Chain A
């Protein structure tokens, strides 16, 4: 019996969910926590690499950088200085699915943070900033070129998704970034940053009436318009391919298999299943590869995206052993489809996931991303307790049902290495 089974999840009775949809279509959601010492707030924009056309590949991420470069009221230096004066921990990130701008600070400074973040959502996108920042983006692309662990996912994702926009590169390429013009970015911004495509999420200590009144005033000039997203049917690739890079010492492999969409109720079971098979410690892949010293890293997770999903794995091995290691990885996940999952391993995975969720919820900043992404994806609020309960109540039969669909018979494997192992 674990404390999770006894219902000792974080005490949800203290938390309160708030929500307002403004006239311009902007949704504002909050999770009030009376015990929080800080507050975190962020704009979640439902736009990312999947919403780009090939000629502007990387524009979502480049735009994310440009949003810090100034508005009609503020220069880039003003924005950075304001964040510093607030003592905010702040940043932004871009994925295939969304772009997020956030900050965390002491509660009495929330109004200033909301003013700053909201102003940033209507950027100046000045020409001179565009050219300087282009160099920064090119440096970021060069930095990731030196990280094969990252690069192999870009290579594998593009081929696995096989033309589906979830395979688009977040960074874009040297060529697409070099040729990108400011007008193209302006046009993209104009299509994607409608109030209805943004969610402002706030977690921690705040005064909801004051927040809504302020945000309504700050965004009153935002014009509503419609934004759409394409959902083509995925036709994921299977098989194996290799990219050679003689500079590398190791073989890095990314492994993809078809998974579940973010709104699929079975996503909790899929996450537990991936944990059973490929958690960093104590999983089947761990015992077969890492514990035996065959690979220094072997993992599998489940990524549930908007409308589609995938199991995503990684393994790194010495070139002379790469074939053996990748075959073992494949055998572990394929054979799991034929042997009954052990209820004890299922239970361990459930509890590890529940602990992870509970730990992340300790801080408002940790909570913010789950709150924003969760609301934007599902259109409704999920407390940590609700998610922990969903994980703890997912049965091993649900895991077996997922395996009965034999997702790992449709594995796509991409290797990136010095080249002697496979071609």
Chain B
């Protein structure tokens, strides 16, 4: 039996009767681990995201990159299994893995057949609760992080965003998850073990699951696998914006990379839905303003866009355009003009297209177990609670033209932090220099 899913005839009839899950189960374990689950009973698969409360923003001073190395080290043997045996056990169950260390949190993600849940959960839990952190595995973990840092140089876009975030935010939250050369070199087995003792705990961690299982099985499995996990955690520093400004990073690249960052509503701010729709009008599709003005009308770029991002308690927007150096000035000018113009409001038909696109992508998100597990975890972290797709849909429906245009009028485009990376500075930086 596969409950909770309308038949096709009904689907074809009405958009409103979208057949996604409308229930999220939650439970906080005694050790503080926050468990969330969304049943998708029609799927044979299950996806999990375990968010661990350590990231670049809480790296120890002068040890930038500690979170990244710790995240790698966790996956090199846990509990009774050494690195190889642990990996073979997961892969023998057909588990597809993902995850990484980010600015605020590190994640371990996995997707597998739902029937394997009882065997998979203990293997995931052991990485968090009883990692071996063996001496011999430390050097290769750090070596890998150093290689990835070096590889940044051959990836101008990624490098641009690292530079941009470092200039946009003060202190820890602006730090790159890739770490620094000096920070990685200074790490020792003792320092990273000490770091694990400081911030690899369950209180503040989030375990989100979505897919073809039932709540009782998930809850019992999680209690059993994660119940004995203990450890300390640290609180996350609040992101604070640095003074806005423009800067250029010299790089011998074919294109000039242009990045912008500016504050936006916090993820739990009720205005976030109106803002998200406004951003959709600006950059949600190939029919949106940025794409139309910068690429379609002027042919200045292949890639241009702006998207909403969030850290805990702090929202911001990142903008991007990549263009050949001789067209960089014009490209930045057109992008900034479109951003500034947004405070004059959006048209009714633009809002409706943005709403249609947003609602459609909500439905699509509801079809993918990995997308749902990841969203449950990030909502829990950023909003302090999980949202059903139904709730998101209702909030998006409620935003009317007056509300969005009032919001935009009251919140004119803030002075952005702009970083360019390429063979030559833009005219304005040159004039300032």
Chain A residues close to B by CB (< 8 Å): 2-4, 6, 8-11, 32, 34-38, 68, 76-77, 80-81, 83-90, 104-108, 132-140, 142-143, 145-149, 205-207, 247-250, 252, 281-282, 287, 290-297, 316-318, 344, 347-348, 351-352, 354-356, 358-359, 362-366
Contact = CB atoms under 8 A, between A and B. Distances in A.
A76 B367 contact: no
Contacts of A206: 12
A352 B89 CA distance: 12
A11 B114 CA distance: 13
Contacts of B323: 139
B364 A363 contact: yes
B153 A249 contact: yes
A88 B357 CA distance: 7
Given A139-B324, A344-B88, A281 B97 contact: yes
Interface residues of B, number: 89
Nearest to A11: B44
A2 B2 CA distance: 22
A248 B43 contact: no
Given A139-B300, A250-B153, A37 B92 contact: no
Given A37-B20, A80-B287, A364-B367, A87 B360 contact: yes
Nearest to B43: A362
B293 to A, nearest CB: 11
B356 A87 contact: yes
A316 to B, nearest CB: 6
A89 B116 contact: no
Given A292-B140, A318-B150, A359 B301 contact: no
27 contacts: A34-B7, A37-B19, A37-B367, A38-B360, A81-B287, A87-B356, A90-B286, A104-B364, A132-B297, A136-B299, A136-B302, A139-B323, A139-B324, A143-B254, A146-B254, A148-B154, A206-B12, A281-B91, A282-B87, A291-B76, A292-B143, A352-B91, A355-B112, A358-B113, A359-B47, A359-B369, A363-B367
Given A37-B20, A80-B286, A147-B155, A85 B111 contact: no
B88 A87 contact: no
Interface in B67-114: 76, 83-84, 87-88, 90-97, 111-113
Contact of A106 (B15, B44, B92, B147): B15
B131 to A, nearest CB: 16
B41 to A, nearest CB: 10
A79 to B, nearest CB: 8
* Most chain A beta carbons < 10 A, residue from B144, B151, B324, B369: B151
A59 B84 CA distance: 48
B285 A344 contact: no
B353 interface: yes
Contact of A359 (B157, B252, B360, B370): B370
Contact of A351 (B93, B254, B285, B366): B93
A37 B13 CA distance: 12
Nearest to B153: A249
Interface string B124-151: 0000000000000001111110111011
B319 interface: no
A44 B258 CA distance: 35
B241 interface: no
A83 to B, nearest CB: 6
**Ranked 5 nearest A-B pairs via Cβ:** A293-B143, A87-B360, A351-B94, A80-B287, A135-B299
Contact of B299 (A133, A294, A363): A133
B365 to A, nearest CB: 9
A71 B352 CA distance: 25
Nearest to A135: B299
A335 to B, nearest CB: 18
Contact of A355 (B84, B88, B94, B287): B94
A137 B303 CA distance: 11
Contacts of B140: 291-293
B172 interface: no
A222 to B, nearest CB: 26
Contacts of A142: 254-255, 324
B295 interface: yes
Given A108-B12, A296-B151, A318-B150, A87 B357 contact: yes
B322 A139 contact: yes
A351 B148 CA distance: 29
B359 interface: yes
A348 B91 contact: yes
B296 interface: yes
A11 B44 CA distance: 8
B153 A86 contact: no
A296 B295 contact: no
A39 B188 CA distance: 52
B285 A84 contact: yes
B433 interface: no
B115 interface: yes
Nearest to B152: A249
Contact of A83 (B5, B94, B286): B286
A133 B295 CA distance: 8
B11 interface: yes
B292 interface: yes
B303 A143 contact: yes
A348 B92 CA distance: 5
A16 B342 CA distance: 47
B25 interface: no
B282 to A, nearest CB: 13
A358 B254 CA distance: 40
Given A10-B44, A107-B8, A358-B45, 14 more contacts: A81-B287, A84-B287, A84-B357, A87-B357, A134-B299, A136-B295, A145-B254, A252-B154, A282-B87, A282-B91, A317-B147, A355-B95, A359-B47, A359-B370
A293 B43 CA distance: 37
